Copies of this chain bind each other. A is one copy, B any other.
Amino acid sequence: MLREHDLKVTHQRLVIGQYLFENKKHPTAEDVYERIRPNNPSISMATVYKTLDCFVKAGLAQKVGTTEGKTRYDANLDRHDHLYCEESNQIIDFSNEQLHHLVDDYLRTLNIQNFEVSDFQIQINGKVLEKNKPVIVKNSIK
């Protein structure tokens, strides 16, 4: 994956990439650092930032805007939206083809003058009810 994107394969990139890609959370740089540190005590915070940034530039991850004053990173490259928990600040992936089409089709019927739309993302605010249980989305229409 790194090679495909012309990135040198280093231990640091493998470790950070593995965490980011395997469990699709939306961690801050700090989160990543804390997580990988126990097994990789020599990796520095600057490297975490540079690595995340290089993933973003390579298109392997994206930044997610928040209101908390820190940037979150997302390795889920599929088209998806986000559930923002107002209590825990966690961001949960939400994928729904129909919803996407619905909005996409509608946006195409509008003509937004002087603005070229590239894509969109829906930020669904609310709160997780039971903090330990998972959030599951079910499509009512088949």
* A contacts, CB < 8 Å to B: 63-69, 71, 83, 85-86, 92, 94, 96, 98-99, 102-103, 106-107, 109-130, 133-141
Oligomeric state, in number of copies? 2
Contact residues in B for A69 (Cβ distance below 8 Å): 69, 71
| Cα distance A29–B104 in the bound complex, in angstroms | 33
Q: A106-B102, A111-B140, A113-B135 are in contact. Are A121 and B118 (CB under 8 A)?
A: no
Contact present for B124 and A107 (CB under 8 Å): yes
Contact present for B125 and A122 (CB under 8 Å): no
- Distance between A29 CB and nearest chain B CB, rounded to angstroms: 11
Q: Find the residue from A65, A71, A106 having the highest chain B CB count within 10 A.
A: A65
| Cα distance A130–B112 in the bound complex, in angstroms | 13
